[in-house]
Amino acid sequence: MRLPFEPASFPDVLNTLLQYDLTPAIIFLPSRRGCDEAVDSFRRTRLPDLSSEQQRRIANIVAEYPDEATYVEQHRQFFLLLRKGIAAHHAGQLPAWKHVVERAMAAGALRAVFATSTLAAGIDMPARSVVITASSLRSDDGHRDIKAFELAQMTGRAGRRGRDRVGFAIFVPGPFQDMHVIAEKLLSPPEPVESAFDANYTMALNLLQKMSPQAARSLIERSFRHFQNRKLADRLRPRLQEVKALLDADAELCPAGDRAQTFAAYRPIARELAAARKQLRRWQNAKRQLDLDDPDTRADYEAAVNTVRRLEAAAADFPCSTCSQVSNCAPRAAEMLEAQRRYEHLAARCSEIENGLWERFKKCVAVLQHYGYLDQHWQPTADGRWAAQLRVDNAVFVGELIRAGILDVESPRHLAALCGAIAAEDREFPLYEETRAEYLRPLRQVRGIAYAIADVQARYDNYCTMTIDYDAGRLLWTWADGQCTWEALLAMTEAVEGDVARLLLRTSDLLGQLAGLSASHPKLAEQARAAIYAIRRPPVED
Query: What single DSSP character describes residue 493?
Result: B
Instruction: Report the alpha-carbon distance of residue 365 to residue 220 in Å, rounded.
Output: 14
Which of 272-281, 314-323, 527-536 tops mean pLDDT? 527-536
Phi, psi of 32 (to 5 degrees): -60, -45
387-425 pLDDT, tens digit each: 999 999 899 999 999 999 999 998 999 999 999 999 987
pLDDT on residue 1: 45
112-141 pLDDT, tens digit each: 999 987 766 666 778 899 999 988 887 666
Across the range 368-383, mean pLDDT stands at 96
Q: What is the mean pLDDT of the chain?
A: 85
pLDDT on residue 283: 67
pLDDT on residue 321: 56
235-280 pLDDT, tens digit each: 777 787 887 777 777 666 666 556 666 666 666 776 776 777 777 7
- Which residue, among 96, 92, 98, 90, has the nearest Cα to 69 in the 3D structure? 96
pLDDT on residue 433: 76
Would you say residue 508 has pLDDT above 90? yes
pLDDT band (50, 70, 90) for residue 440: confident
- Residues 148/182, Cβ–Cβ less than 8 Å: no
pLDDT band (50, 70, 90) for residue 287: low
pLDDT on residue 2: 47
pLDDT on residue 275: 75
Would you say residue 197 has pLDDT above 90? no
pLDDT on residue 276: 73
Across the range 142-171, mean pLDDT stands at 88
Residues 6+ positions from 315 with CB-CB distance below 8 Å: 266, 269, 270, 273, 321
pLDDT on residue 214: 93
Alpha helices (runs of H) in 371-517, residue ranges in sequence order: 382-387, 395-403, 412-422, 443-459, 470-479, 486-492, 497-515
Across the range 207-222, mean pLDDT stands at 92
Task: Please indicate whether residue 190 or residue 304 has the higher confidence score (pLDDT).
Answer: 190
3-class secondary-structure state, position 137: strand
Following DSSP, what letter does each residue of 71-136 receive, concatenated?
HHHTSTTHHIIIII-EEEESTTS-HHHHHHHHHHHHTT--SEEEE-GGGGTT----BSEEEE--SE
In the chain, the percentage of residues whose pLDDT exceeds 70 is 84
Task: Please indicate whether residue 191 or residue 445 has the higher confidence score (pLDDT).
Answer: 445
Count of helices and strands (H, E) across the chain: 22, 7
pLDDT on residue 367: 96
Following DSSP, what letter does each residue of 163-198 receive, concatenated?
T-SS-EEEE---TT--HHHHHHHHTSPPPPP-----
Instruction: Report the alpha-carbon distance of residue 464 to residue 302 in Å, rounded.
Output: 63
Task: Please indicate whether residue 57 or residue 318 has the higher confidence score (pLDDT).
Answer: 57
Which of 173-182, 224-233, 299-308 tops mean pLDDT? 173-182
Across the range 88-114, mean pLDDT stands at 91
Instruction: Name beta bridge partners: 132.
Output: 28, 171
Would you say residue 164 has pLDDT above 70? yes
Residues 6+ positions from 139 with CB-CB distance below 8 Å: none
Task: Please indicate whether residue 438 or residue 23 has the higher confidence score (pLDDT).
Answer: 23
> What's the alpha-carbon Rg for the chain, to the nearest Å?
35
Would you say residue 288 has pLDDT above 60? no
Instruction: Report the alpha-carbon distance of residue 151 to residue 179 in Å, rounded.
Output: 12
Instruction: Report the alpha-carbon distance of residue 26 to residue 140 in Å, rounded.
Output: 25
pLDDT band (50, 70, 90) for residue 542: low
3-class secondary-structure state, position 303: helix
